[in-house]
């Protein structure tokens, strides 16, 4: 069986443009990623905003949580800005931006968990079991 020109094996991959080499994405495929990154980034910013304005003193763990949250959001925003560039239609660039976004999610999740742990002593005073 004869094989097509190099790169054609990717042409049928999910998100590829029909008739285009497999290294280009269909813009509608990328649009879903932009939406997902924007929604997650919005929730992350909302959490950070609400959490930072909670009453109480900040300890060392709260400061570390803030740094993790801020770094995670920065990675998410970098991924969002990168996805809005036309170069993100190239599969290699798109995959790199997805990895940047994943790092942002991991950092944000670690910050949220640490923030929750840091707030346990304060919250436990209000819980009556």
Q: How far apart are CA 15 and CA 108, in angstroms?
A: 28
Q: Does residue 84 contact residue 93 with C-beta atoms inside 8 Å?
A: no
Give the pLDDT mean for 79-101.
Answer: 94
pLDDT tens for each residue of 114-129? 988 887 877 777 777 6
pLDDT tens for each residue of 75-87? 999 999 999 998 9
Helix (H, G, I), strand (E, B) or coil at 25: strand
Q: How far apart are CA 18 and CA 125, in angstroms?
A: 60
Is the confidence at residue 113, as pLDDT, over 80? yes
Instruction: Spell out the domain ranges in the chain.
Output: 21-124
Write out the H or E segment, with its range, that includes residue 92: helix 91-124
Helix (H, G, I), strand (E, B) or coil at 85: coil
């Amino acid at each position: 069986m004869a094989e097509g020109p190099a790169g054609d094996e990717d042409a049928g991959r999910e998100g590829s443009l029909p008739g285009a080499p497999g290294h280009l994405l269909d813009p509608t495929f990328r649009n879903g990623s932009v939406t997902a990154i924007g929604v997650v980034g919005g929730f992350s910013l909302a959490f950070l905003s609400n959490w930072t304005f909670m009453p109480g003193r900040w300890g060392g763990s709260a400061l570390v949580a803030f740094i993790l949250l801020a770094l995670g959001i920065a990675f998410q925003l970098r991924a969002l800005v990168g996805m809005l560039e036309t170069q993100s239609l190239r599969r290699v660039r798109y995959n790199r931006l997805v990895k940047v976004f994943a790092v942002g999610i991991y950092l944000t999740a670690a910050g949220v968990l640490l923030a929750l742990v840091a707030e346990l002593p304060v919250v436990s005073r209000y819980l009556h079991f």
